[in-house]
Structure 1
Amino acid sequence: MTTEKARTPVPRVQLVMGILRRDDEVLLVREGLGADSALLRSLPGGGVEDGELLHEALRRERREETGLLVGDPVRTAFLVHIDSERYPSAMAVAFEIDEWSGTVAPQDGDIEQAAFFPLPAAVQLLGELDSAPQREPVVGCLTGRVAPGATWLYRNRGRDETLVARW
């Protein structure tokens, strides 16, 4: 007979992000990310709350971080699955959004600014993100170097971020 060790439940992290384009521009937010919460640009998005479906969380986060009302996603841009010591099995899903309305006006105190950037500038700004799981999937998606809907699997131990697989 074997005895199993009792496990302490670890909170699961589920994040959603949205790619919203206006002609040849992409909407980015500026918020505290990376080392020492440096102000960096990223895709708008955030955590999925208990009882929310992904598209509902996406709409809520978009509204909070940009002030815009968005429709349902039209396709999955990419999925990132990260196994880290702090958050085992964290998932982040980015969606393309074609339908939106309103004026860009962030309502979230953590967002310093939300603005559209020409695609080359957006890619450059997103390339400044400290973490490979934050940086590589979005840059790969926006540049077209990686097929839409790609899945990225990372294992993070301390400062080591290893891309385990991508398809």
Structure 2
Amino acid sequence: MNFRIGAEPVIRPFIQRWWRMRRGMTLGVRGIVENPDGNILLVRHTYVAGWHFPGGGVERGETIYDALRKELREEAGIDPAGHPELVGVYSNEAKFRGDHVAVFRVRDWSHCEMTAHHEIAETGWFHPGALPDGIVGGARRRIAELYEGETITGVW
């Protein structure tokens, strides 16, 4: 196991306290990027376990669209065209009090240079019915809602 992944459960409470001092509420973005074959893009980070949708935090002065575009370019080498479809905004209260995640569906995009090589251990395209082991709960629930007709919960 990677040291950064192993240390994450110990370090996370300190990082979250620091963020809480800076902000009363936090907002993140995630992109469900689809290719023409119907596969979706997932990433594995170097600092936390599991497969995730690419994404990250929304900074002060940034729109959710700007944040999504920035994160997809950095983490996946994906440049979304136009405004991606907002799937929903989900509460991540169980993991981090006051946190929310805006999820977008990205169907129209082009390749660009990936700039966050140090953050990303691996990327992969997967069919929604054949997901890799280790996909995180929030991503798994969104896939079930979008592709399997599960009820939308509003909880990340």
3-state SS of 2:72 partner: helix
Aligned residues between the structures: 134
Runs (4 or more) in structure 1 with deviation over 4 Å come to: none
1:101 aligns with 2:114: no
Where does structure 1 lack aligned partners over 5 or more consecutive residues?
A: 1-7, 155-167
Partner of 1:66: 76
Q: Is the 8 A contact 2:52 2:135 kept in 1?
A: no
Partner of 1:52: 62
1:82 aligns with 2:95: no
3-state SS of 1:51 partner: coil
Where does structure 2 lack aligned partners over 5 or more consecutive residues?
A: 1-19
Q: CA deviation at 1:19?
A: 1.1
Higher helix share: 2
TM-score, length of structure 2 as denominator length:
0.71
TM-score, length of structure 1 as denominator length:
0.67
The Cα offsets for residues 95-145 of structure 1, whole Å up to 9 and x where unpaired, read as: 111211125x53211111222222222xx337642xx4x245323234332
Counterparts of 1:13-162 in structure 2, within 5 Å, are 13-22=26-35, 23-32=37-46, 37-38=48-49, 40-84=50-94, 87-102=96-111, 106-108=114-116, 109-121=118-130, 124-125=131-132, 128-129=135-136, 132=137, 134-146=138-150, 150=152, 152-153=154-155
Higher strand share: 1
Identical counterparts, % of pairs? 25
Partner of 1:3: none
Tell which structure's C-alpha radius of gyration is larger. Answer: 1
